[in-house]
């Protein structure tokens, strides 16, 4: 058991058995890709979207790159050799 204030709600379109080990970085990337960028992960978007993922080698960034691949996107990814 954990305190409710340190948990994050699972997105309804993701099955619990598929995301049980997904850390907060993955959920943050999911929110950024689906809600902020409007990418549909089932490829149902009518037109390919161009997106830019900065810090693609970071904790959130590497999840965002993988999620963007699931959507109908063309992506540009930026990373730094320090990561």
59 — pLDDT class (breaks 50, 70, 90): confident
**Domain extents for the chain?**
23-83
> Residue 81: which pLDDT band, with cuts at 50, 70 and 90?
low
What is the CATH class of 23-83? alpha beta
With the C-alpha atoms ordered 58, 61, 66, 69, is the resulting torsion angle positive or negative? negative
* The pLDDT value given to residue 82: 61
DSSP one-letter code for 5: G
SS3 for the chain is CCCHHHCCCCCCCCCHHHHCCCCHHHHHHHHHHHHHCCCCCCCCCCCCEEEEECCCCCHHHHHHHHHHHHCCEEEEECCCCCC
Give the pTM: 0.69
């Amino acid at each position: 058991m954990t305190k409710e204030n340190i948990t994050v709600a699972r997105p309804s379109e993701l099955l619990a058995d598929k995301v049980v080990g997904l850390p907060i970085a993955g959920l943050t990337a999911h929110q950024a890709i689906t809600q902020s960028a409007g990418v549909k992960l089932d490829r149902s978007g009518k037109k390919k979207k161009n997106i830019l993922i900065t810090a693609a080698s970071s904790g959130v960034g590497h999840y965002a790159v993988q999620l963007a691949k699931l959507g109908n996107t063309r992506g540009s990814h930026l990373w730094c050799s320090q990561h």
